[in-house]
Structure 1
Amino acid sequence: MTVKMIAVDMDGTFLNSQQDYDREKFSQLYQVMKQQGVRFVIASGNQYYQLKSFFPEIEGELSFVAENGAYVVSEGEEIFTGEIDPEIIQEVLTILAKFKQGHTILCGKNSAYVNEDEPDSFIEHGQKYYHRLKKVPNLFDVKDDTLFKFALSFPVEQVPEVLVQLHEALGDKVIPVSSGHGDIDLIIPGIHKAHGLMKLQELWGIKNHEVAAFGDSGNDLEMLKHAGYSYVMSNGQPRVKVAAKEIILSNDENGVLLKIEELLGN
């Protein structure tokens, strides 16, 4: 079996519950990947600036499918940037105002934005995933950035119901996907993690059957269906487990690194 590209989701997949990973083991496997010419890609709903902070020594060598595919950066170079039409941004913000239990972060290329009236607890939660997060008086007035995603937060038990309501309210302006922990991302139709992987595959001449992907949540579904080798964590969402070829050990049992070790034949 030939794997030329390994794509990993971060939260609930590559990262353990402490928001970290076995850095020593990864470092050894990364050297093997380099020797074998295997590309390592981080594919996450999170912000590029947050994702690269997990790999300080090598972030300039890696590729990132950030913001669920809306921002793709390879070796420090921008490969793809999505954009939501400014009119649709206004329409979606108007619709979201009716969801009283929800909190909203508006995500752009230069920064993410949050209303300064949001509770401190939510802003602190947001800063974990968005290292560049600006407080603004009104999200409707954010204009000087390329905006490509909404990140919403709801009480966990409401998420299934809210997803249905958002689908109905938003039509096909933006697509709601669950990203775990009560978080829901609204993404550009057709711009998801698999789309980001395809941009990198074009760059490197890698076929779908040469891709291995790892995930745990609804925003990983397209990527798992796209990849020749697809793995879902034992802690993953039930409907995601059905989409993958194999269920592996959880994110707290080094599931991803042990499977990568196996794929590399080490």
Structure 2
Amino acid sequence: MTVKMIAVDMDGTFLNSQQDYDRKSFNQLYKQMKQQNVRFVVASGNQYYQLKSFFPEIAEELSFVAENGAYVVSEGKEIFTGEIDSSTIHEVLTILADFKEGHTILCGKNSAYVAESEPDSFVEHGKKYYHRLKKVPNLFEVKDDTLFKFALSFPVEQVGEVLDQLHQALGDKVTPVSSGHGDVDLIIPGIHKAHGLLQLQELWGIKKHEVAAFGDSGNDLEMLKHAEYSYAMRNGQPKVKVAAKEIILSNDENGVLVKIAELLGN
């Protein structure tokens, strides 16, 4: 088997419960990837600026499918940027106002935005995933940015029910996907992690049968179905385990790095 691209989700997959990874092991594997001309791609629902921070020495060499595919950057160059038009943004914000226990971050290319009325605890939670997060009087007034995603947070036990309600309320305007914990992303229909990987495959001439992908949540499903070699974490959601070809060790057992070593022939 020849793998030329390895795509990893971050939270719950590449990162352990402490929001970190075995940097020494990864650095050794990354050197091998470069020697074997294997591309390493970070594919996450999180913000580009947050994702870069995990790889300070090599961020400019890597490719990022950020914001669930809405923003794709390779070696510091923008490859793809999605956009939700302003009338849809307003319509979705109006619908979200009816979800009393939900909290909303509006995600754009330059920054993410949160309403001043949101509790401090939610804003602090948001800053973990969105290193550029601005408080604004209200989200209806956000302008001068390309907006491409809503990041929502709900009590964990409500997520299943909320996803159903959002599907019904939003129709085909945006697609709700679970991204783990109590988080739900509203993404542009058809713009997901697999779409982002395709942009990079075209850039590099990499075929589907040369792609390996790792994930744990609902927003990884398209990517896992797309990749020839697909791996779900032992700690992953049940539907993700069904979609993947193999279930591997959990994110707290270095599951991704163990499997990458195997893929590289170690």
TM-score by length of 1: 1.00
Structure 1, residues 39-82: CA drift from partner, whole Å, max 9, x if none? 00000000000000000000000000000000000000000000
Which residue of the partner structure matches residue 38 of structure 1? 38
Secondary structure at the aligned position of 1:78 is classed as strand
Partner residue, 1:236: 236
| Partners of 1:43 and 1:33 in 2: CA distance | 17
* 1:169 partner letter: A
Please report how far the alpha carbon of residue 143 of structure 1 lies from its aligned counterpart in structure 2 after TM superposition: 1.2
Distance 1:205 1:38 in 2: 12
Question: 1:83 Cα shift?
Answer: 0.1
Q: How many residues align?
A: 266
Secondary structure of the equivalent of 2:221? helix
CA positional deviation for 1:238: 0.3
List structure 1 runs of 4+ shifted beyond 4 angstroms: none
**What SS is found at the alignment partner of 1:60?**
helix
- AA matched with 1:13: T
Tell me what 2:160 maps to. 160
Q: Which structure 2 segments of 5+ residues have no match? A: none
Distance 1:47 1:209 in 2: 28
Separation (CA, whole Å) in 2 of partners of 1:140 and 1:86:
9
Q: Percent same amino acid at aligned positions?
A: 87
- 1:37 alignment partner, SS class: coil
User: What TM-score comes out, normalization by structure 2 length?
Assistant: 1.00
What is the aligned partner in structure 1 of residue 107 from structure 2?
Answer: 107
Q: 2:254 and 2:17 mapped to 1: Cα distance?
A: 11
**3-state SS of the aligned residue for 1:99?**
coil
Q: Which residue of 2 aligns with 1:145?
A: 145
Deviations 1:202-261 (A, max 9, x none): 000000110000000000000000000000000000011000000000000000000000
- Match of 1:186? 186
2:122 pairs with 1:122: yes
| Match status 1:76 vs 2:76 | yes
Letter in 2 for 1:133: L
What code does the residue aligned with 2:120 have? D
Aligned-pair CA distance for 1:114: 0.1
Calculate the aligned-residue CA RMSD, in Å: 0.2
> Using the alignment, how far apart are the partners of 2:115 and 2:88 within structure 1?
18
